[in-house]
Structure 1
Amino acid sequence: MGQLDELGQPYHEDSHYGYVSEYDAHSAYYTIPSPVFLRQPLNYHLYTTTIPSSFVQSASDSHFVPSTTELRTSLQRRSETIRGTAAPGLNLPEEIQGYHTFVPLDAQVANANERRKFGNWFSTTYRAIATADGVPYALRRIENFRLVQQAAFVHVDKWNKIRHPSIVTIHEAFTTRAFNDNSLVVVYTYHANAQTLYDAYCKSKPPGYQSHPHGRGVFQGRTQPPAVPERTLWSYIVQLASAIKKVHDAGMAVRTIDLTKVLVTGQNRVRISSCGVVELLTHDTPQDMAMLQQEDLNMLGRLILCLCCANPAAANPQGLHKSLENMGRTYGNEVSTIVLYLFGKNGHHRTVDQLLDLIKTHFVIEMNDALSASDRLENELLTELENARLVRLLCKFGFINERPEFARDPRWSETGDRYPIKLFRDYVFHQVDENGNPVVHLSHVLTCLNKLDAGTDEKIMLVSRDEQSCLVVSYSELKQCIDSAFSELSRASSLSTPHKYR
């Protein structure tokens, strides 16, 4: 049933949504299909408040970390996305090679020519939960592809050893007929709410739609894709160049430096995705690794030019000169110099080390911003360290209050040091106003529990339900009663044979 929140807005119970709960995800149980309801926004303002800016050294936005409110909202949306389920009627397989709960990640397009492709093969991406660890992964499926030689999977092992913050990690690959065809499936680390550079900066948006590279799109009356700020552009160049350096040093080539393959996974954070797929598709074709590494640099130059012009066709030979002119009017000469170097029209042999030498000053800026982001996140973490204090306290209440019997005493929870605990429970949760209506004030509960957890010397008066007993005790004395009662339970529990609970 729909209910009203504390602001009077309608919402639905979480059990009404097709979520994968934490227990389900880690126990390999499948989610039972549930009715589809309109998802109401979460009440982000109910979460832990942040430390005022005057108390922290880096409270302002950093290059990689947004403001506190935006960061909290973005993380909550990622968590919500991870636990979402697919819409009914998609006829997706229930389980494939230890993965279940499939959810398509690609937007539905009416024209088949607009679908993402690898060469001559259509590609579809899904999110699925792994049975082994309950973690969501991204599965890229190559449709109607028959892998002839199992030796091709050696490329997956090579790419699995490449670990870099700007490369989406590949985990495994397998073939399947679960989609009613011969499909190749490659498994990658999943980054929730990520989108490609093409979707973020080059794709035309519907009227009234604005895209956020690290979140969801919202309607704000803008149709043109946002231009890439030069500072952000250099950040992308540094991150991608660092990733190319890692791959080339391993004697390999990236081969997927493309607007549709590079993901924006956070504020100004990019990662190269789909690595290793090209090697699987072209396993039988001899390749010149030196030529492929040169092509990586050329692809990076084309990607930069397309981003600057917000046009996927900007790097086409017939319009290259005009695109360079347009880029020069918006960005500095240093950007044009890097793009011309990467295109390498003079036949000069280029290396990623030479590229890094050309942009070394921007590496220093990037490192400083990364360190500032680290400090910013540590300050955010400080606000979350003590979140479990009150939960632990409530758990102790649950163990002690209303316990039917302990130590062969059916009135154990009603006598001795446990009696003030029961009265305090009523004082916190069961108060009524002058009209006999229940008092449901979260601030009163949090204030009392925080004072109890701190053990203050403030005294309160506790009255029994029949108003025949009245006790005046301090929070410090109540804390001692709770610790004593819980210690008694803990000692008895440690002496018994441990049980395994499902």
Structure 2
Amino acid sequence: MTEIEFQKNFSQLQYHLYTSPLPHVSNLHPHQKTIHAFFMLDHLREELQRKNESTLKTVNAKDFNLPEELHVYHSLYPLDQRQEKSIKIFGYPSWVYKSVCSVDGRVYCLRRIEGFRLTNEIAMSTIENWRRIRHANIVSIREAFTTKAFGDHSLVFVYDYHPLSQTLFDKHFSSSSLQANNHPQSGGTGVVVPETVLWSYITQLASAIKTIHSSGLAARMIEPTKILSTNKNRIRINCCGIMDMLTFDGGKNIHHFQQEDLIHFGQLIISLACNSLSSVLNLPKSIDYISRHYSPDFKNVILYLLNKPTPTKSVDKVIAMIGPRILHEINSVHHYNDFLESELSQELENGRLVRLLCKFGFINERPEFDMDPSWSETGDRYLIKLFRDYVFHQVDENGYPVVDMAHVLMCLNKLDAGVDERIMLVSRDEQSCLIVSYKEIKNCIDSAFRDLSRRK
């Protein structure tokens, strides 16, 4: 199946159908709101919808020569569509799939190491050490197992799934990202990556490496293609634990690997600052470029990371050097948390309205209840039916339907609160009208719903 055919198999959500915000209204009174004040921002809603859509994607396993089931996982979906598989990182070709676990129903990411035959069962025990680590900047590993489901000896690692995430390589060094940011691939010129972004990366990676090293482990994956950007500037170290199993040595060289983590950390930051992966090949030129475009503190952290390994060189020293920047990162995180909490509050009351609408659905137009075919058209239920018409079925002077979301929200909120305000309800034949309060209508709904809920 070609990439074009692959894309045609899916019907994309129509994000452009979301209503755009209304023009700014400057003369609103303090108690007035626009319709968009009741819901989260469109771009945040669209982002969450895209992530949800990505999580639910499926393919026909036969079209991609995938097994229907793999251990306790099913519904495999290939996340990496590139056909050429590099063996540079792991020494073996690797494949990435999204899958659903039949045990807990959650979605996980499977990384398959193709053609690896496990010869030492003790190597599997290394995963237990990684499973104990829970860190905001590390993609958590769940388990590892061997399989022949792909027709060969494969080793599969199970990680948490982060939809729509991309690697730092794709974000900063791919041809599309370089063109979008006007970055020449040779590096050294073009748009400078903001220092605040790089400090955020440094803070997050230092925190993750500190946790890993404190657990007696080494990341061994500090490189652009194995660090995920999961949300704006939020990054996570991916593929932890794989190299420990592929090159199992019983932990004899752990100090050496921890020192390598720090060197690779420095090389990664230099590459990001210079917009080029080849910048590490000419360090004097790269450091000169950094000196001209970034602060002395930034350069000093990089120089420390690139120093030769010594018994006293550790990530603790890095954390001490970036102390003031950590405070800025904490401040930014709290601000973003306030933003998300504010957006969440926009949807806070919507759950109440949904429950109210569900009660309407149970009661209105019910064909029969308690051996009474006309139950929904008599007594208190008739009042509820008229109120539904008042909220949803009004027409203007020309007979056109009144589609006014503000009217609907106002009525439902007053009903849920049970206010004493009175309204006039008119029958469909206009032969009768009733003057009732929202409180009385609410009591009618609660009474009718209790009747439906009771068990004789």
The match for 1:108 is 82
* Structure 1 residue 307 displacement after superposition: 0.9
Q: Deviations over 1:82-109 (max 9, x none)?
A: 1223488333322211222222222425
Hey, what's the Cα distance between the residues in 1 that align with 2:108 and 2:199?
Answer: 30
* Cα distance, 1:313–1:197 mapped onto 2, change above 3 Å: same
* Cα distance, 1:263–1:363 mapped onto 2, change above 3 Å: same
Within 5 Å, give how 1:256-267 maps onto structure 2. 256-267=221-232
Tell me, which stretches of 5 or more residues in structure 1 are unaligned?
A: 1-17, 19-33, 56-66, 212-220, 497-502
Hey, what's the Cα distance between the residues in 2 that align with 1:344 and 1:46?
Answer: 53
| 2:377 aligned with 1:414 | yes
The match for 1:91 is 65
The structure in which a higher percent of residues are helix is 2
Contact 1:123 1:143 in 2 (8 A): yes
* Cα distance, 1:465–1:297 mapped onto 2, change above 3 Å: same
* Structure 1 residue 489 displacement after superposition: 2.5
Moved more, 221-230 or 451-460: 221-230
Contact 1:204 1:223 in 2 (8 A): no
* Structure 1 residue 296 displacement after superposition: 1.0
The match for 1:456 is 419
Within 5 Å, give how 1:70-219 maps onto structure 2. 70-86=43-59, 89-108=63-82, 112=84, 115=86, 117-205=88-176, 210=180
Hey, what's the Cα distance between the residues in 1 that align with 2:117 and 2:104?
Answer: 29
The match for 2:37 is none
Q: Deviations over 1:359-384 (max 9, x none)?
A: 22212222222222233322222212
Give the letter aligned to residue 93 of structure 2.
F
Give the letter aligned to residue 217 of structure 2.
M
The match for 1:399 is 362
* Cα distance, 1:222–1:69 mapped onto 2, change above 3 Å: farther
Hey, what's the Cα distance between the residues in 2 that align with 1:342 and 1:200?
Answer: 23
* Structure 1 residue 405 displacement after superposition: 3.3
Equivalent position SS for 2:175: coil
Q: Deviations over 1:314-346 (max 9, x none)?
A: 223xx2222222222221222221111111138
Give the letter aligned to residue 78 of structure 1.
K
Equivalent position SS for 2:224: coil
Contact 1:210 1:223 in 2 (8 A): no
Hey, what's the Cα distance between the residues in 2 that align with 1:35 and 1:248?
Answer: 45
Q: Deviations over 1:132-167 (max 9, x none)?
A: 222211111111212222322111111000111111
Hey, what's the Cα distance between the residues in 1 that align with 2:129 and 2:452?
Answer: 54
Equivalent position SS for 1:468: coil
Equivalent position SS for 2:94: strand
Equivalent position SS for 2:176: coil
Give the letter aligned to residue 276 of structure 1.
G
Equivalent position SS for 1:345: coil
Contact 1:205 1:223 in 2 (8 A): no
Moved more, 451-460 or 469-478: 451-460
* Structure 1 residue 239 displacement after superposition: 0.9
Q: Deviations over 1:255-305 (max 9, x none)?
A: 111111111111221110100000111125774111111111111111111
The match for 2:212 is 247
Hey, what's the Cα distance between the residues in 1 that align with 2:409 and 2:352?
Answer: 11
| 2:443 aligned with 1:480 | yes
The match for 1:306 is 271
TM-score, normalising length: structure 2: 0.85
Give the letter aligned to residue 152 of structure 2.
D
* Cα distance, 1:351–1:368 mapped onto 2, change above 3 Å: same
* Cα distance, 1:409–1:223 mapped onto 2, change above 3 Å: farther
Contact 1:117 1:123 in 2 (8 A): no
* Cα distance, 1:117–1:86 mapped onto 2, change above 3 Å: farther
* Cα distance, 1:157–1:377 mapped onto 2, change above 3 Å: same
| 2:293 aligned with 1:336 | no
Hey, what's the Cα distance between the residues in 2 that align with 1:223 and 1:39?
Answer: 34
The match for 2:324 is 361
Contact 1:198 1:312 in 2 (8 A): no
* Cα distance, 1:346–1:392 mapped onto 2, change above 3 Å: closer
Hey, what's the Cα distance between the residues in 1 that align with 2:302 and 2:184?
Answer: 28
Moved more, 369-378 or 34-43: 34-43
Give the letter aligned to residue 98 of structure 1.
V
* Structure 1 residue 390 displacement after superposition: 1.5
Contact 1:92 1:102 in 2 (8 A): yes
* Cα distance, 1:433–1:68 mapped onto 2, change above 3 Å: closer
Hey, what's the Cα distance between the residues in 2 that align with 1:450 and 1:136?
Answer: 37
Moved more, 458-467 or 162-171: 458-467
* Structure 1 residue 124 displacement after superposition: 1.6
The match for 1:21 is none
* Cα distance, 1:223–1:387 mapped onto 2, change above 3 Å: farther
Contact 2:192 2:293 in 1 (8 A): no
* Cα distance, 1:39–1:479 mapped onto 2, change above 3 Å: closer
Contact 2:139 2:238 in 1 (8 A): yes
* Cα distance, 1:68–1:419 mapped onto 2, change above 3 Å: closer
* Structure 1 residue 178 displacement after superposition: 2.2
